[in-house]
Chains A and B, each alone.
Chain A
């Protein structure tokens, strides 16, 4: 039964990876940029979770965390990223600017909340354990998996069934032609960026009771998120889901049977092994790297 528990642990941590990597990969697919500040929204969501859940309750906290982080993401995109992309299509500048934003945000978080790691309480109604046959597992962790599955399902539907989703896909396929068909690509890109940072905020709230919350957490997950995004294939939502589950498993088993760092090392090893056979990642498409 220990193995089943590890699988579930891997799925839970994988769910957090998926929620975070989703925003990174879509933004890369659309604009060809890497937002190193993505983890800031995750961190902010976690602190909002600690601060707001006691007064607002858990569901409303999720909504507020989404809204606040989407709004801040929109601000970052419009004020800092869009001008860079317009003046010079150079991913390097965006990388440096967003890294700067992440460093400043992390220091500000340290000033406000202090450097000591915290955890948030498991929300009312989701505490306790669930027994399924011989398996006993925390209710909240199962909730995180179910929530992620529902959210990603909704996102996939939105991308494939709604007109705005089709327009987003067309930008990822060929931004220039899409604009010639009347698409206001900069505006759509900003909206999608904000959606990604909003979801990162939600992931922060969800992760609060599971992982610890501290000011440099916005950097710690970044490396593993790059593994998830690259392994899945840059720009692919389905890839992020599969790679998130895979990396979650590798991490969980590495941590359980070897050591904490072994999980990360194994995750990188898995990425390299896949890239040898599929250089574009599991679901990568040639041409997205225009």
Chain B
């Protein structure tokens, strides 16, 4: 398996503060990778460097063989990266369909069929079919999260990057989302997932990296990480 996305000694930060220190990781085609760690350890900063929203200060980010370290966000997105930001960040006054239309129009128009893409996300989250003409901001938190994931999918991308997809969501909806991510993985999609909720990560991912104060302190198969109770207690705040 070849690396679809790789970070080579990437450092990043905001203003005078450096948050990430020489992070190296890779996501191979078809696998699901989880980025774990407690709050404020650099998980979101890593994703913002990948998506180009907060470009890396040093190091190299490669996506599908192209150096994307300094590319603007819309070019990275158009290379085939679907993104679901932390806190969902939907366009609240726009309808569900309009929210989905934006990445589709930017990335997939002329290449993919709009109604086929909609069918695909509605098959995953049937409730969105009923909500399609509602304002995204009027939906429940769980439904908004589904729209955010759908928005990362309708561009027909090969890699989706999800920032905390189960944060602040009812347990029943978490189940739906975990199931959906499993389905997507089964369809051959590549997934990079940031999670504080380690149970979600363990259920979905093949491999994991643990971030602690901006550095990768552990990496490996998700089963091995899950079995390492010392690691869980020390870096993830999980009592075992």
Q: Mark A residues whose CB is within 8 Å of B.
A: 163, 166-167, 169-170, 173-174, 176-185
**Bound CA–CA A183/B72 (angstroms):** 10
Quick check: which of B4-12, B25-33, B73-81 contacts chain A, the rest being far away?
A: B73-81
Question: Would A182 and B155 be within 8 Å (CB), given that A163-B105, A176-B53, A177-B85 are in contact?
Answer: yes
Cβ B103 vs Cβ A182 within 8 A: yes
Cβ A180 vs Cβ B94 within 8 A: no
Nearest-Cβ distance from residue A278 to partner chain B, whole angstroms: 18
Nearest-Cβ distance from residue B72 to partner chain A, whole angstroms: 7
Nearest-Cβ distance from residue B33 to partner chain A, whole angstroms: 19
Q: Which residues of B contact A185 (CB under 8 A)?
A: 74
**Bound CA–CA A158/B173 (angstroms):** 36
**Bound CA–CA A211/B96 (angstroms):** 46
Cβ A173 vs Cβ B94 within 8 A: yes
CB of B229 closer than 8 Å to a CB of A:
no
Known interface pairs A166-B101, A173-B91, A177-B85; 18 further A-B residue pairs with C-beta atoms within 8 A, sorted by A's residue number: A163-B105, A166-B102, A169-B91, A170-B94, A173-B92, A173-B94, A174-B89, A176-B53, A177-B89, A179-B77, A180-B52, A180-B53, A180-B73, A180-B74, A180-B83, A181-B106, A183-B74, A183-B102
**Bound CA–CA A163/B95 (angstroms):** 13
**Bound CA–CA A173/B90 (angstroms):** 9
Nearest-Cβ distance from residue B179 to partner chain A, whole angstroms: 25
Q: Which residue of A170, A182, A184 contacts B91 across the interface (Cβ within 8 Å)? A: A170
Q: Which residues of B contact A169 (CB under 8 A)?
A: 91, 93-94, 98
- Per the 8 Å Cβ criterion, residues 14-73 of B in contact with A are 51-53, 72-73
Q: Interface on chain B toward A: helix, strand, loop, or mixed SS?
A: helix
Nearest-Cβ distance from residue B91 to partner chain A, whole angstroms: 5
Q: Which residues of B contact A174 (CB under 8 A)?
A: 89, 91
Chain B interface size, under 10 / 10 to 19 / 20 to 34 / 35 or more: 20 to 34
Closest residue on chain A to residue B106 by CB atoms? A182
**Bound CA–CA A209/B238 (angstroms):** 76
CB of B207 closer than 8 Å to a CB of A:
no
Nearest-Cβ distance from residue B8 to partner chain A, whole angstroms: 22
Q: Which residues of A contact B72 (CB under 8 A)?
A: 179
Q: Which residue of A163, A170, A173, A182 contacts B77 across the interface (Cβ within 8 Å)? A: A182
Q: Which residue, A163, A179, A184, has most C-beta atoms of chain B within 10 A?
A: A179
Cβ A163 vs Cβ B101 within 8 A: yes
**Bound CA–CA A258/B103 (angstroms):** 55
- Per the 8 Å Cβ criterion, residues 96-115 of B in contact with A are 98, 101-103, 105-107
Q: Which residues of A contact B101 (CB under 8 A)?
A: 163, 166
Nearest-Cβ distance from residue A18 to partner chain B, whole angstroms: 22
Q: Which residues of A contact B151 (CB under 8 A)?
A: 181
Closest residue on chain A to residue B99 by CB atoms? A170
**Bound CA–CA A289/B74 (angstroms):** 23
Q: Which residues of B contact A167 (CB under 8 A)?
A: 102, 105-106
Closest residue on chain A to residue B103 by CB atoms? A181
Q: Which residues of B contact A166 (CB under 8 A)?
A: 94, 98, 101-102, 105
Question: Would A180 and B102 be within 8 Å (CB), given that A170-B94, A173-B93 are in contact?
Answer: no
Cβ contacts B100-140/A at 8 Å (1 or 0 each): 01110111000000000000000000000000000000000
Q: Which residues of A contact B78 (CB under 8 A)?
A: 182
Cβ A179 vs Cβ B94 within 8 A: no
Q: Which residues of A contact B74 (CB under 8 A)?
A: 179-180, 182-185
Q: Which residues of B contact A181 (CB under 8 A)?
A: 77, 83, 102-103, 106, 151, 155
Q: Which residues of B contact A180 (CB under 8 A)?
A: 51-53, 73-74, 77, 83, 85
Nearest-Cβ distance from residue A78 to partner chain B, whole angstroms: 16
Cβ B102 vs Cβ A178 within 8 A: yes
**Bound CA–CA A169/B92 (angstroms):** 11
Cβ B102 vs Cβ A170 within 8 A: yes
Q: Which residues of A contact B83 (CB under 8 A)?
A: 180-181
Cβ A179 vs Cβ B91 within 8 A: no
Q: Which residues of B contact A177 (CB under 8 A)?
A: 85, 89, 91
